[in-house]
Amino acid sequence: MAHHCISHVKDVDGLSSAALVLAAKGGTFRLTDYDDVMRELQAVPRSATGLTICDLGTNASNFPEFVAALAGLAERMPVTYIDHHFLAEDAKRQIAQAGVDLRHDVAECASMLTYLTYKGALPEAARLLALYGAVTDYMDASPAAGAMMETFDRQFVLLEATALAFALAKNGKDYSYAEMLVEELSKMKAPHTIDDVGPQAVAQAEVVRLLADEVRAKGTRMNRLAYMATTESSTGNVAKLLLGAFGVPVGVAYKVKPTGNAEFSLRSTSEGGVHLGKEIGAIAQRHGGSGGGHERAAGCSVPVREVEGLLNDLDARLSAG
């Protein structure tokens, strides 16, 4: 008899969401990335009495399988799906029709939506976890997060959220480190009091400083975007650094995976002029891959031979305005 949670492994929003579910419902949790969501849905323990899925956006290419898996699970237990990645109205309808309690809002981060979902079973301190996800997802000016932030020392929240994000980035390839963070956060520990989060965050600050120089040297500028191939674990970081290094509205970083796919992160400034998540979803599908995300932060995956075509299509789309 235990609740089960599946949440996003890659960022503080996913970790905070998992910690909130763990604090409110107890039970077990698994952290995963977009590519492995289907596998995790199939691996939900037989003994689970409920399931919460957090911060794991889905994309058009495997949507029918995703909904079918949700429907199968919803026959066995209550299923709650909490997310803030873009979802078309029809997709939302299909998820609800599968018997899933969908908590979806693109205006707030997943950890804030998770906090609001389980608020009644959570202590006061859980509000900080909601804000860590909001800060690191750039959603701390959203209606619920903005109002909550006003009741805290803003610099304390920024310090704790950033320490968490940097320590996670430093240990990004190690899922057990992320799991440790979730366990500790679920006990309402402040990030700076968790083991070596402080030193790991400082070490990551040095990684970021050196990376900024590397991006300047190795990045390539097209018309409206700059791109770079990297082996660095956080392609999101590299994409962001490209914006400043080349003065372009869109930064694109990718790494080639052993599967033969190139995995991209995209970031844009307010000058981008397009919804990155929607555009890259359509472009990636044309190149035999998939993708999606937010207006100014998105990701996709395509076969490595399609990298050049994808970059050309995206740059052309951005140049068309």
Joined together, the tokens standing for residue 140 give 């701390």
User: Within 13 Å, how many C-alpha atoms sit on residue 88's CB side?
Assistant: 9
Chain positions 241 to 270 lying near Mn ion, rule: CB under 5 A, are none
Say whether residue 279 binds Mn ion (CB under 5 A).
no
Say whether residue 137 binds Mn ion (CB under 5 A).
yes
Checking 79-82 for CB contacts under 8 A at 24+ apart, the result is 79/50, 79/51, 79/52, 79/53, 80/50, 80/51, 80/52, 80/53, 80/117, 81/52, 81/53, 82/17, 82/52, 82/53, 82/54, 82/55, 82/110, 82/113, 82/114, 82/117
Place of tokens 């409920």: 50
* CB 65 to Mn ion: min, Å: 22
* CB 8 to Mn ion: min, Å: 7
Nearer to Mn ion by Cβ, of 168 and 311: the residue is 168
Sequence-ordered list of residues with C-beta below 8 angstroms from that of 200, at least 6 positions apart, any chain: 166, 167, 170, 171
Chain positions 8 to 27 lying near Mn ion, rule: CB under 5 A, are 13
Chain positions 58 to 117 lying near Mn ion, rule: CB under 5 A, are 110
Q: Site for Mn ion (CB under 5 A): how many residues?
A: 4
* CB 271 to Mn ion: min, Å: 23
* CB 110 to Mn ion: min, Å: 5
* CB 309 to Mn ion: min, Å: 29
Beta carbons of 222 and 249 less than 8 angstroms apart: no
* CB 307 to Mn ion: min, Å: 26
* CB 142 to Mn ion: min, Å: 12
Nearer to Mn ion by Cβ, of 74 and 134: the residue is 134
Choose, by CB under 5 A, the member of 3, 10, 55, 181 that binds Mn ion. 55
Nearer to Mn ion by Cβ, of 219 and 236: the residue is 236
Nearer to Mn ion by Cβ, of 55 and 313: the residue is 55
Sequence-ordered list of residues with C-beta below 8 angstroms from that of 163, at least 6 positions apart, any chain: 191, 192, 197, 198, 201
Nearer to Mn ion by Cβ, of 13 and 315: the residue is 13
In angstroms, rounded to a whole number, what is the distance separating the alpha carbons of residues 304 and 113? 36
Say whether residue 53 binds Mn ion (CB under 5 A).
no
Nearer to Mn ion by Cβ, of 55 and 160: the residue is 55
Which residue's Cβ lies closest to Mn ion?
13
Nearer to Mn ion by Cβ, of 219 and 293: the residue is 293
In angstroms, rounded to a whole number, what is the distance separating the alpha carbons of residues 26 and 135? 25
Nearer to Mn ion by Cβ, of 107 and 316: the residue is 107
| Region for residue 102 given its phi and psi (left: phi exceeds 0; alpha: psi -120 to 50; beta: otherwise) | beta
Beta carbons of 139 and 109 less than 8 angstroms apart: yes
* CB 139 to Mn ion: min, Å: 8
Residues that bind Mn ion (CB under 5 A): 13, 55, 110, 137
